[in-house]
Structure 1
Amino acid sequence: MTLAAMIAADYGTIGDILRERARENPDRLAVVMETGEAVTYAQFDALVDRVAAALQRDGVAPGEAVAVCALSSIPYAALFLGALRAGVAVAPIAPSSTPESIAGMVADCGAKLFFLDAGVAEAQKPAPVPVRPIALDGSSAGQAFDAWLAPEDATPTPVEIGPKHPFNIIYSSGTTGTPKGIIQSHGMRWKHIFVGDAIGYGHTPVSLLSTPLYSNTTLVCFFPTLAGGGTVVLMKKFDVVRYLELAAKHRITHTMLVPVQYRRLMEHPDFDRYDLSSTRMKFCTSAPFAADLKAQVLKRWPGGLVEYFGMTEGGGTCILMAHEHPDKLHTVGRPAPGHDIRLVDEDGRQVGPGVVGEIVGRSASMMNGYHGRPDKTAEATWVSPEGWTFIRTGDVGRFDEEGFLTLMDRKKDMIISGGFNIYPSDLEAVLVQHPAVFEAAVVGVPSDAWGETPVAFVALKSSQVAEADAIKTFVNGQVGKTQRLAEVVVVDSLPRSHIGKVLKRELRDSWQNSPSQ
């Protein structure tokens, strides 16, 4: 089958596409590290074969899993693709997880091998993982990756990989409890890969990725770039100046960033000095993206801006083509083609435009379920009157008359004060208008008088000074009586997950455990 026919097919595998790209353009750079280390498509495809052959040699069967917990690297990327070529599911785990949590996730997915680096090995000392460790960085964390690989020129035995076959098991952040393993299939990932031409990937993109490879945020850009025969430039850790240097040096066409990274870039005094004119499209997902920040990015950074709203679990996705709809920056866009997104009330009844409800979605891109957790899978679904299964997002929103969705908040973060619903996002939007405020988060805390009351945590811009009471007065003068803040707390920074989500549970805990409470 020709490459064009493979791309046009209803289903295929990223491993097959990679092999064809290597045949088509063997000398093109596939993966480049910020340090300058790089591999061509021919070299990368050969490395992927060696991984797949080594997994088969070690008896890791199709449908089984391997776990990986490390910072982004070329060996990490090759491991991911090599496992997929062997029909083996990949369970990428965040190194920021606790040692006990890492051990629990490795055990939960039934990993046959555990790939890690020196940083993770140091953190793992209190909770060793009872499977064979392999060190991607060649450290003493385990058997060296280069020594583990199958010999050069090794090729794996071809395996049949169907659309329902598990592609990866991505664990939820665990910010609301024990992480759940989200099983994504090859069919689901295939649907993600070739939507690129419609949103600007086009021919041979160069994508700069500073978010980690263990995040679904990164993977939704990583795989389409390789499938399109482009170059992925990987950073181990985001740094504003280094990011801008790499973007200019490599003449990037695409990038994926989370909102806090966009804000830090926009705040940097030298941002406008860098040549980013090669950029065709910028993407954002994973956390609320403020309208004022979107407007800044559109004004100061060439190329389009696309915001995705959806879940790792799949279901429904909304897409905002911000450059095409500058009057809709307060929204997360419209449902993607083929995606059915609805809103339901507390009783599971569908609500119409203008009415707030929980967002549920259905599409061809849906998880197989939570690994080993049929109870949690059932809890995460809503069945429509037609009998179709939708995935609950846990987010609350409202459609306008044109079909654009405004995201209000996480359902669990909504504050009920004196019987009134307060959406933290409304207050956060006012807080960041204060000239000294860099970012803000609002949480509900217990109140004898009102049941709950809103408290704001704010981080100030560098070189800015502001009193907490002055910020509270600024906000309370612009909001309704029921929305008024009870307190403002100035902090150095907001606690965040590895993909930039504010950990509001930690803020609530810090407030309730403070000596003044």
Structure 2
Amino acid sequence: MASSSSLVSSSPSPATAPPAVIPSIVRGTKIVQLIEKPLSHLIEDCAIRFDDRSAVNVPWQKVDLSYRTLAERSRMMAKVLLWAGLKHGDVVGIMGGNRYEYIETFLAAGRIGCPVVLMNNMFTPAELEHAMGRVSVSVLVIAGLIGPRNMEEHIKSVLARADGPKHVVVLGNENKNWGSDRAHTYSGFFNEANSKATDVELEAAESRVVVNDILNLQFTSGTTGRPKAACLTHRNILNDAMFVGAAMKLTPADVVSCPPPLFHCFGLVMGFLASFYHGSSIVFPSDTFNAEMTIESVLRDRISALLGVPTMFFAQLELLEKHKGRWAPFKTVRTGLAAGSQVPAPLMESIFKQMNIPSMLIAYGMTETSPVTFITAIEDNKDKRFNTIGRVLPHTDAKVVDSRGRILPIGQRGEICTAGFPLQRGYWNDEEKTCEVMQEDEHGVRWMYTGDEGYLDADGYGYVTGRIKDLIIRGGENISPSEIEGRLLEHPLIGESCVVGLDDKKYGEAVAAFLKASDQAKGSRPSDAELRQWVSQTLGRHKAPKHVFWVGDQGVGKDLIKTASGKYQKHLMRALGNGLLKQSDPVAAKL
């Protein structure tokens, strides 16, 4: 008999053989068929299947529309848009809170092949004008009030431009005279005498729409600060909505609460369209997010699925804790979605324990991917639901690559890339930026490079560990650092600016500015409050820096941290800023 040593040397034991390298690439099932029909078909199909069931309930407007009524009103609004001169491919803009007119306009425009561009509610008048100019808006529907915000300056600014939209439809402010024949009230525009096109004209317009036409334009900020509009097709977002609703197991018996804004993919696709496709009723509890009204709606409307970005759940948890005993415990909510930014595991635990929601799901993606590509499942165990982003949707692929685009082994961190039906057609009139983030591999498969760092495990679950890009995500909203840096550099007392996102318990990230005084400052510098006002004059208030650090101050250093070539090392600036926050106030740094 041979000795044990000779056996080992001549025939390696399986226990000592190197493990097989499994590549970090996953492919979603293709058993489920994709929707290959445009929005108008879904509207009419839902009207037949769900008829008088509530489709959209907006309690703050005292409006509750059935599937049949919503289909009819969207037909009427589509005819008005045709009368107004809109043709296939013309763009309709919407800027407003979560209200029924938003839904009617979106459905109407989609019926006749008019892309709908959703304007961020925080846009300043200048930002709104710039966005409309980028995509050539033909009709703008805008609310006179969005939450507490008076939009009169926005409306006047738009109407003052001779090259602006042909029609500006104002929601609310029914008795206001805007001094322009281009301005309409919503009710006046909707009921315009002798204005509606015929059924034959509407059917002809609908027949020209195909699934790969652009349905939705979503502005998304990149790290360059240059605004880009993601082009999402009927095929993109209708299928994404179908799969997201399926993950929540929505049925006509469900009532969905949607606090996230309709101008975001979360509110429009994961909220409204997911509910609409599955015959559920969706409730918009308030114009803009209000934690108290959301809680009251959950109890009053017997909500079974609750949606929100992390900051919304933090606000509700804080209110429930502060007013213990004011509201009865949640008993009807069985599931929901948390998304928009990274969802901390402790938050998921609090939602489970304090809000009594047993199966809250996490969704992951980006505006350019319609937006969801990964999602957890109700059947997942607690660890997977709390600590992962789930698995890819059907007809969706994902991989993790290194800086040279090579697929990494399972478990190794790299850039998350996705492919399949959710990928946008590209950025509106911006082939250069499209090619920067969407690239074909050697097999001709087009991949979206997300800029997020993460990895896949052996079961196909995804994990996000950080961001490769410098984008700041504050409360689910993407903010471009360079846009703020540019504005700060316009101040005569600022010579250099570096903007990063620092850890923030409430919003996930807060805007922070590291500044170096200009030569003409001569020892003087603006206060933090003055700088916030400076930024807010031309950019949204949410882009104003919460934290301001000056070169030369204790702990900041004598210069901004840069590479040898002069580029700011933002990962080091973030680490420095987070450290300074903890040093100055360890308790406040966590708030």
Question: Could you say which TM-score interval applies, normalised by the shorter chain?
Answer: 0.7 to 0.9
Equivalent residues of 1:69, 1:120 under 8 A apart: no
Paired-residue identity, %: 21
- Structure 2 counterpart SS, 1:60: coil
* Secondary structure in 1 matching 2:107: helix
1:280-359 alignment, distance < 5 Å = 280-300=334-354, 301-314=356-369, 317-321=373-377, 324-328=380-384, 329-359=386-416
* CA pair 37-24 structure 1, distance change in 2 beyond 3 A: same
Distance 2:375 2:231 in 1: 23
Distance of aligned partners of 1:121 and 1:346 in 2 relative to their CA distance in 1, 3 Å threshold: same
Residue of structure 2 in register with 1:167 after alignment:
215
- Structure 1 residues 81 and 456: alpha-carbon distance in aligned structure 2, compared to 1, 3 A threshold: same
TM-score normalised to structure 2 length: 0.69
User: What does residue range 142-161 of structure 1 map to in structure 2 within 5 Å?
Assistant: 142-150=183-191, 155=199, 157-158=202-203, 159-160=206-207, 161=209
Contact 1:169 1:183 in 2 (8 A): yes
Secondary structure, aligned partner of 1:317: strand
In the alignment, the residues of structure 2 paired with residue 440 and residue 170 of structure 1 have an alpha-carbon distance, to the nearest angstrom, of: 22
Give 1:84 deviation, angstroms: 0.9
1:76 counterpart (102, 106, 111): 102
**Residues 262 and 84 from structure 1, CA distance in 2 versus in 1: closer, same or farther, beyond 3 angstroms?**
same
| Structure 1 contact 413–444 (Cα < 8 Å) conserved | no
Please name the residue that 2:40 is paired with: 15
Q: Residues 293-333 of structure 1, C-alpha deviation per residue, up to 9 Å, x if partnerless? A: 11221233234211111111118711123762312322222
Q: Deviations over 1:202-235 (max 9, x none)?
A: 2342111111111101112211212222222112
Task: Indicate the structure whose relative CO is greater, using CA pairs within 8 Å and at least 6 residues apart.
Answer: 2
Q: Could you tell me which of 244, 257, 261 is aligned with 1:208?
A: 257
**Largest Rg, 1 or 2:** 2
Q: Offset of 1:334 from its aligned partner?
A: 2.2
Contact 2:396 2:418 in 1 (8 A): yes
Q: Distance in 2 between matches of 1:347 and 1:210?
A: 40
In the TM superposition, what is the alpha-carbon distance from 1:457 to its structure 2 partner? 5.9
Q: Which amino acid aligns with 2:259?
A: S
Structure 1 unmatched runs, 5+: 1-6, 416-423, 459-466, 475-488, 494-517
Question: When the two structures are superposed, what TM-score results if normalisation uses the length of structure 1?
Answer: 0.78
Listed as ranges, the matches of 1:59-458 within 5 Å are 59-118=85-144, 119-126=150-157, 128=160, 130-131=164-165, 132-139=167-174, 140=176, 142-150=183-191, 155=199, 157-158=202-203, 159-160=206-207, 161-173=209-221, 177-195=225-243, 196-219=245-268, 220-234=270-284, 235-268=286-319, 269=321, 270=323, 273-300=327-354, 301-314=356-369, 317-321=373-377, 324-328=380-384, 329-413=386-470, 428=503, 451=562, 452-453=572-573, 454-456=575-577
2:112 and 2:560 map into 1 onto residues whose CA distance is 60
Query: Would the aligned equivalents of 2:252 and 2:279 in 1 still touch at CA under 8 Å?
Result: yes
Of 263-272 and 95-104, deviating more is 263-272
RMSD value, Cα: 3.2
Separation in 1 of the partners of 2:511 and 2:134?
34
In structure 2, the residue matched to 1:484 is none
Alignment check: 8 A CA contact 1:204 1:225 kept: no
Q: Cα 1:274–1:383, aligned 2, differ >3 Å: closer, same or farther?
A: farther
Q: CA deviation at 1:95?
A: 2.3
Structure 2, unpaired ranges of 5+: 1-31, 145-149, 473-499, 515-555, 563-571
In the alignment, is the contact (CA less than 8 A) between 1:30 and 1:226 conserved in 2? yes
* CA displacement 1:100-150 (0-9 Å, x = unmatched): 221121122122111112133333545655112111225436311111125
CA shift, 1:90, in A, is 0.6
In 2, Cα distance between equivalents of 1:438 and 1:396: 20
Q: Deviations over 1:225-257 (max 9, x none)?
A: 122222221121212221110111111122220
Secondary structure (helix, strand or coil) at the match of 1:351 reads coil
Q: Which residue of 2 aligns with 1:32?
A: 57
